[in-house]
A and B are shown apart, each in its own frame.
Chain A
Amino acid sequence: MEGILWALILGFGFGWALQKGGLTQYATISNVFRFKDLTVLKFMMTGLCVGMVGVYGLNWLGVLEMTKVNETYLAGNLIGGIIFGVGMAVAGF
């Protein structure tokens, strides 16, 4: 039950950020690939910076153990990313 509650709360915040940032619009996703509107990049990079500082800061304080780092698999990550990019550009989400 605790897990479900956190999933809903975090999901709500996540959804809110996506909507307010305009990431739910086809135009926003489409335009980043045409360099007309870099909202997606700004949003992602800001999220990354805040997340990095937060995660590494807490890790340094000993509060958070980083046990869930994504596995790096060169061929899979690159090829998967390439395939993903096609789908994202076509569908706009």
Chain B
Amino acid sequence: MNWLIEQLKKPRWSPYSAGVLLGLVYVLGLLFADQLLGASGSFENLAGLIAGAFSSKVAESMYFKYIMPAAITWQVILMIGVFLGAMVAAASSGQLKWKSIPDHWKENHGSSVWKRWVLAFLGGIILEYGAGIAGGCTSGLAIAGSLQLAPAGFLFIAGLFASGILTSLIMFRGRWR
């Protein structure tokens, strides 16, 4: 019991331990909820819901009508759970604190807060767009797809890392390695 509490309070777990928990959560998701755990879809669900309230053209679009329901779906609730889970995990080891800019970003790209936030937002848009085309993100496609041996998952991972590495080369330039 003490051992367990000690483990839960550790600020950082081995990626293998955390990965085991991740795998188990995915299996339980399919077993008990008959759902693939995904992340990018929930933001599109909400975006469609909000935009649909302002524009009937959005509400009537094929995408939000047939592919990505503009509603508070199971995935949206899941994302609330993820947020709470990560928050409690951070609090369990005293890591829960506000930071307007990650230290690593500051060290490599300067301390401008607006620059970080703008790029984070743009990066998020690009990321969501890519997920929409591919049919999922690192959660719903790369992991959920690949663990079911769907070629889609592996193709996505290949594309993700290829462009991620290239983009990183550009962003970090001389400090890439």
Known contacts: A6-B33, A12-B81, A82-B159. The answer to whether A46 contacts B119 by CB under 8 A is no
Interface size class of A (residues with CB under 8 A): 35 or more
Which of B85, B131, B146 has the largest number of chain A CB atoms within 10 A?
A: B85
CB of B89 within 8 A of CB of A20, answer: yes
A4 smallest CB distance to B (angstroms): 5
Cα distance A31–B103 in the bound complex, in angstroms: 13
Chain B: residues with Cβ within 8 Å of the partner, total of 99
A39 to B135, CA, bound (A): 25
Query: Chain A residues near B139 (CB, 8 Å)?
Result: 14
Residues in B neighbouring A54, C-beta threshold 8 A: 23-24, 26-27
Give Cα A70 to B80, complex, Å: 23
Tell me, yes or no, whether B2 is within 8 Å of chain A by CB.
no
Residues of A within 8 A of B16 (CB): 42-43, 46
Q: Is B105 an interface residue (CB 8 A)?
A: yes
Contact bitstring B133-176, A, C-beta under 8 A = 1, else 0: 11111111111111111111101111111111101100110001
Question: CA separation between A93 and B158, bound complex, in Å?
Answer: 17
Contact of A58 among B27, B34, B103, B149 (CB under 8 A): B27
B133 touches A85 (CB 8 A): no
Is B120 in contact with chain A by the CB < 8 A criterion? yes
Q: Once the chains bind, are B125 and A19 in contact (CB under 8 Å)? A: no
Q: Once the chains are docked, how many angstroms separate the CA of A23 from the CA of B172? A: 20
User: What 0/1 pattern do residues 4 to 39 of A give for CB contact below 8 A with B?
Assistant: 101111111111111111111111001111111001
Asked whether, in the complex, the Cβ of A92 is within 8 Å of the Cβ of B105, the reply is yes
Q: What are the residues of chain A within 8 A of B79 when measuring CB–CB?
A: 11
Main secondary structure of the interface of B (DSSP, over half): helix
Instruction: Give residues of chain B (57-101) contacting chain A, Cβ–Cβ below 8 Å.
Output: 74-75, 77-90
Report B-chain residues with C-beta under 8 Å of the C-beta of A13. Answer: 21, 24-25, 28, 85
Task: Please judge, given known A-B contacts A55-B148, A79-B134, whether A46 and B19 are in contact too, CB under 8 Å.
Answer: yes
Q: Is the CB of A45 within 8 A of B19?
A: yes
Q: What are 28 pairs between A and B in contact, CB < 8 Å?
A: A8-B78, A13-B25, A16-B85, A17-B25, A20-B18, A21-B15, A21-B22, A26-B102, A30-B104, A30-B108, A32-B164, A33-B165, A43-B15, A45-B19, A50-B22, A54-B24, A63-B31, A64-B30, A68-B35, A69-B145, A69-B148, A74-B155, A77-B134, A79-B130, A81-B160, A83-B163, A86-B163, A88-B160
Leading 9 A-B pairs by shortest Cβ distance: A11-B81, A80-B134, A81-B159, A50-B23, A91-B123, A46-B19, A15-B85, A87-B127, A21-B18
